[in-house]
Amino acid sequence: MTRSRLIRLVLAVALAVVAILVSRRVGTPQPDGEAGPRRGGRLVASFRTEPTNFNRLVEAQPVARLAALLTQATLLRVDPNSGAFEPRLATAWTGTPDGLTWTFTLRPNVRFSDGTAFTAADVLFTFQALYDERVGSPLASEMRANGQPLQVRALDDHHVVLTFPVPFGPGLTILDSLPILPRHKLQAALDAGTFRAAWSAGVNPADMAGLGPFMLQEYVPAQHMRFVRNPNFWLTDAEGQALPYLDEIEVAIVPEQNAELLRLQAGESDLTTGGTRAEDLAMLRDAEAAGRIRLMNAGTAIDVSTFWFNLTPGAKAVAGKPWLTDESFRRAVSHAVNRQAIVDTVHLGAATPVYGPITPGHGQWFVPGMGETPFDLGRARTLLTSIGLEDRDGDGVLEDKANRPVRFSLLTQRGNTERERTSAVVQEQLRQVGIAVDVVALDGGGLVGRFTSGDYEAIYFGAQSNSADPANNLGFWLSNGGFHYWNPGQVTPATEWEARIDTLMQQQAATMDRAERIRLFTEVQQLVADHVPALWFAAANITVPVNARVGGVTAAAIQPPVLWNAERLYVTSERR
């Protein structure tokens, strides 16, 4: 090799190493051949549901979380992949030895998107609104320790003291889900009792303000939400560049999953806000080979669609069908469902069979084999017979002792292929043991409406988790929680086992001993397995497709898997 060629080779390697080091300092992987983040440009994502409110303290639906991630900021953030704390509006925090009291130093010279200075008063106001009973925040139950609110006070404009009333296992991780809201924009609404309506879907974006990387510029129902760069965003990258890199993010409202895929393939959108379906992977891999998209592996889902019956005592929707509330009936249904068949046919193998809401994606909280009910039609039939359900007229459908057919309606989400197809598989599998199921697909809003009104027999649906830590999802586990699907918002526990779960969840949240928390939560999972209030079938392996022109992507198993880190996304070229 000549000396000149050797020099060129050394220089090429050195430049490549520098590029890799720069990418690592920025903390975001880049498309092949791209030297670094490009500033400016517009990214288009798709989302399947319409917003009803842009205030995360009011609305628990995923679209409200998405809007908050783009327009608001938290005191700190938990990296969804590593679990590490990241400074956000707070640059530092120190705690007392007992872990109960924490003093936060707020980031200096931060302004809201409308130019108003951010101070400790905004933090205090946010907690005031969070715990106000008139607001009825869906986040409030998760921001309590042993049912008691956290206490917050300001030392001055830039220092806040937060005190837990009792030891709290999740600790500061709960702050990851609490956006700090503008006191100057919302205090009057809180005082007047109109806080819930202040940032509803019809709000004038000029009446909003935030500390996040983007600002809502426009919302056109059934079309899109448009977010533009917040000129006052306070975060910079490792090279001192102001974030976000993008000028604009458009979130197109695309309710149907097939339409989402077509838009992505045609280059009309850059990413979806969820994972991809297994049946689309072959086509997407072809597009990846052609250089049009990249497929990102985000691991095993922690959000699993749930099948549950209406177990609310006295619910009119299930009157005359007492077997729906019988544990033996639900266990029979579980034995009659072939989960591996769902993995193979619905997910094409790209999933893991599960028997509870905790999946391998939850790490050390997952207990292999917990609650496993093997596919066994004989066992299912025996259980059904034991509660008096038999095919008395030979038509293939069971009847109860009053000669009423064993038939129920199952509501699921229209346009969500996994839920629609799984419902169809369950319908066919239950037919084999004499249970008739009528599947009814509704849009997301209609489905939520039926759930909240209690007007349903069974539902196959689900909500998104913000954290793998069970103590950060108390709305599901506690009997008074709004996401305690089968019987939400109980004033007092309806059953002894639910009361026991309430106690265990409070105990595990109140200890700092990780091993003890895992032990207590294992008992919680066992109680759910023993009493079968709901069923779970499969946890998908999450693959996220993104347009090849999008850089800075760090995919995560939480939702949204890409836009959670929107300030570091960039595009390498303009849209065609």
pLDDT digits (tens, 9 = 90+) for 30-72: 554 455 798 999 999 999 889 999 999 999 888 999 999 999 9
**Percentage of the chain with pLDDT > 90?**
74
* pLDDT score for 511: 87
Angle between helices 120-131 and 183-192 (to 10 degrees): 30
pTM of the predicted protein model: 0.77
d(CA 199, CA 220): 15
**3-class state of residue 336 by DSSP:** helix
Regarding predicted confidence, which is higher, 436 or 141? Answer: 436
Return phi, psi of residue 183, to 5°.
-60, -40
d(CA 510, CA 522): 16
* pLDDT score for 19: 35
Return phi, psi of residue 426, to 5°.
-60, -40
Q: Does domain 37-48+213-299+543-571 have CATH number 3.40.190.10?
A: yes
* pLDDT for residue 427 is more than 50: yes
- Distance, CA of 566 to chain centre: 16
Exposure letters 347-377 (e unless 16+ CB within 10 A, then b): beebbbbbbbbbbbbbeebbbeeebebebee
**3-class state of residue 223 by DSSP:** coil
Q: If you search the block for the tokens 């299912």, which residue do you land on?
A: 380
d(CA 536, CA 516): 26
Q: In the chain, which segments carry CATH 3.90.76.10?
A: 62-197
C-alpha dist (Å) from residue 160 to 127, 144, 529: 12, 18, 42
CATH of the domain spanning 306-539, picked from 3.40.630.30, 3.30.70.260, 3.90.1170.50, 3.10.105.10: 3.10.105.10
Q: Tell me, what DSSP letter sits at residue 278?
A: G
**3-class state of residue 218 by DSSP:** strand
* pLDDT for residue 245 is more than 70: yes
Q: Tell me, what DSSP letter sits at residue 150?
A: P
Q: Looking at the domain that runs over 62-197, which CATH code has it been given? A: 3.90.76.10
When the pLDDT of each residue in the chain is averaged and rounded to a whole number, the result is: 90
Taking only the tens place, the pLDDT of each residue in 161-219 is 999 999 988 899 999 999 999 999 999 999 999 999 999 999 999 999 999 999 999 99
Please name which of 370, 357, 251 lies closest in space to residue 308, comparing C-alpha atoms.
357
560 in Cβ contact with 66 (< 8 Å): yes
**3-class state of residue 265 by DSSP:** helix
Q: In the chain, which segments carry CATH 3.40.190.10?
A: 37-48+213-299+543-571
